[in-house]
Chains A and B, each alone.
Chain A
Amino acid sequence: MRLKVVLLGEGRVGKTSILFRYIRNEFQEKQQSTLQASYMDKKIKVGTTTAQLSVWDTAGQERFHALGPIYYRDADGALLVYDITDSESFTKVRKWVKELRKIVGGDINIVIAGNKIDLERNRQVEEKEVLEYAKSVGATHFYTSAKQNLGLEECFTDLATKMVQQNLTKLQGLAGGFQPKGGKSKLVVVDDTGEGKKSSGGGGCC
C-alpha cells in the first residue's frame, strides 16, 4: 500500500530535519531552506499491513504557500509542524488546518507536531491551547524533537495507522467503524511504543 504524506508548516520549524531524522536517522543543526519541495520514502508496518510512506517535504516561506495544493491534493495524510518556541508558527498550523478541511475535507488525516521540544525552556506555545485546538479539529498532537529523536516514530506511526485504516476501509467499501469524512472521526490510535519515555504531553488526543 502506497501512502502519501505531506509535511506543512512555517519556515524553519524543522520539517526537513524531522524527515531526515525519521527516515535516515540523521540530524544537521543547520539545514538549508527547502525550495519547492523534496521527497523521501520509507516502508512502515502497521499491524499486518506494510505501507510505503511517500513523504513530501514542502517549502515553508509564505511565498510558496500557493504550491501547497500540488502536494496535499491527493495526500492521505498531512503532518503539520510548528516550533514550540515560536507562537507565530502555531498560527500557521491553524491556517493549514482550515485550508485542508476546506479543500480536501475529511479525506486527509492530520497530525500536528510540536517540534523542538528539547527547547522546552523557551516554550512560547501554551500546551493547553494546542491540545484543545488539536482535539477540536480532529487531529492528533505529538511533541517531537528531530534533534534528540523524540516522538517521531510515534508521530509517523499514528499517522500511518490512520491512513492504513482509512485505505482499508475504502478498499473494502465499508462504512464500518471508521468515518473518513468530517474530520472528527473516532479513530483508535495505536500507539504501542511506550509513552513513558516521551517528553511531556506526547501522545494522541482523539
Chain B
Amino acid sequence: MSGLQGFLGKLDPQKSQQSQPSAVPGRLTTSSRGKGGKQKSKAIKGWEENEAGGDQQRDDQRADSNDNGAAMNNLKINDVLLSEPNINLENLKSSAWCGLPSSSRGEVWRLLLGYSPTNRGRREQVLERKRGEYWRAIEGCGLGGEGHDHPGITKTEQVLLRQILVDLPRTAPSIPLFHHPSLQLLLKRVLYLWSVRNPACSYVQGLNDLCCPFIWSFLEEYLQENNKTLTKGIDVSREIPKQILQQVESDTYWCLTSLLSSIQDHYTPNQPGLQKQVYTLSKIVERTDSDLYNHLQSHGVEFIQFAFKWCNCLLVREFDMYTICRLWDTHISEGGEGFSVFHVYTCAALLGRFSETIRGISDFGDLFQFLQGGMKDMTESWGEEEVSVLCSQAFVLKSLFQNSQAHLG
C-alpha cells in the first residue's frame, strides 16, 4: 500500500535537522519575546516541581514520553519549517501528522488551521489584526466587562448565555486550570461569540470541551517559551500575564472557528453530520470487526448511544489533555477532512483497539459503562506509541474504505 509507505516515510528520523530553534513571529509571547531555545529537560523538571499528588509520576512519564516521541520532528519543525520565509503547508502537515512537540504545537496548529499566515513576514501583523478583531467583536456583541451581567443583549441571546454559563463550571471537571475565573470568562466569551456568529448551530453542549485542547496548547506554548511547563493546577493569576491570556483567548476563538467550519452540520438541529458519521462508523465496524459488531448488536447497544459523544466532543472526553492534543496533531494535519472524515476512522480504530475487552463484557449496563466513560480509565496510561498506533490504524482503515464507499453499503 503506497499510502502506508508514505506514512511510514514520515517517521524517518534521518530527516531531522540539528540546530537551535529561534524566535518565530506571532508566537504567544510578551514584549520580551524570543528567548531562543526551549530546554526540554527543564520543562520536564518543571513537572516534577509543580505537579502534586499521586498522578505526578505518571504525568512526568507522560510528558516525557510524548515529547520524546515527537522529538524527531521537533527541530525540523522549528528550524526548517517555521523559520522559512514561506511555510510549505504540505511539508508541515506531513511532519505534524506524526505528533508535535508541545513547544511548537500552538504555532503549528495556528498555521495548519489557516489562522496564521504561511508568510513569515506577514505573520505578526495578521495575528495582531485578527486578535484585535476578536476583541472588538466581543465588545460589539455586548459581552465586554468582567461580570456575567450583560443587559445589552436580547432575550434569545440571554437564553443562549444562560446555557453556556450552566456548562462552564462543568468543563473538564478533573482539570482545575479550566475552572480559574479568568479561564471561565475566556470560555464564556469564546463560546458566546462563536454561537451568535453561527446561528444555524448556536451553542451545543460539548462545544465547551472543544476549546480545551486549544487553550491547553497555547498556554503550554507560552510557558515553554519561558522554560516552564503547564500543570493541571497551575496558578493562572501568577503564571500567565493578562496580555498572554488575551492572545490565548482570541487564538482559541479563531482556531475553534476554523475547526468547526468543516463540521458545521455536526451542530445544526438534529445534528445530521454527526448522525451520518456515527452511521459510517457502524458500517466500518460491521465490515472490519464483525464479532464486535455482532456483540454490540446482540446486547442491544446502539452506536449512537456511545459514539454520539465521540463525534460531538471529537474524543476530548475519552482521553486526557496530553493524549488528545497529540491525537489532534494528526487530525489537524489531515486538513479540512481531519474531523469530518479521518475522525470516524480513528473512532473505528479505537473500537478495534478495545474490541477484545468489549467482547468480554456481556452485561448491557457494564458495556454501556465501558463505552461511555470506562474507556478513559484505560487510555489514561497512553503515551506517544499508543496514539501513533491508533492513528496508523485509522490511516489504513481510511485508505481501505474512504474511496470505496460501496464497501460500506
Contacts and interface: CB of A to CB of B under 8 A. Distances in A.
Interface residues of B, number: 27
A86 to B, nearest CB: 9
Contacts of B163: 11, 61-62
A30 B170 contact: yes
Interface in A120-170: none
B199 interface: no
Contact of A11 (B173, B205, B269, B313): B205
B140 to A, nearest CB: 25
B368 A31 contact: no
A35 B166 contact: no
A35 B308 contact: yes
Contacts of B305: 36-37, 39
Given A31-B173, A61-B163, A36 B304 contact: yes
Interface in A1-37: 11-12, 28-33, 35-37
Contacts of A36: 304-305, 308-309, 312
Interface string A172-203: 00000000000000000000000000000000
B167 interface: yes
Given A35-B205, A35-B308, A36-B308, A12 B365 contact: no
Contact of B269 (A29, A31, A33, A63): A63
Interface string A75-102: 0000000000000000000000000000
Contacts of A62: 163
B317 interface: yes
A62 B208 CA distance: 16
Contacts of B312: 35-36
B372 interface: yes
Given A11-B166, A12-B166, A66-B270, A33 B205 contact: yes
Contacts of A54: 365
Interface in B176-201: 179
A28 B174 CA distance: 10
Contact of B206 (A33, A60, A66): A33
A31 B171 CA distance: 8
A35 B169 CA distance: 16
Contacts of A104: none
A12 B168 CA distance: 11
Contacts of A103: none
27 contacts: A12-B166, A12-B167, A30-B169, A30-B170, A31-B170, A31-B173, A32-B170, A33-B205, A35-B205, A35-B206, A35-B309, A35-B312, A35-B313, A36-B308, A38-B368, A39-B364, A40-B365, A40-B368, A41-B364, A59-B205, A60-B205, A61-B163, A61-B204, A62-B163, A63-B202, A63-B205, A64-B205
Interface of B: 163, 166-167, 169-170, 173, 179, 202, 204-206, 208-209, 269-270, 304-305, 308-309, 312-313, 317, 364-365, 368-369, 372
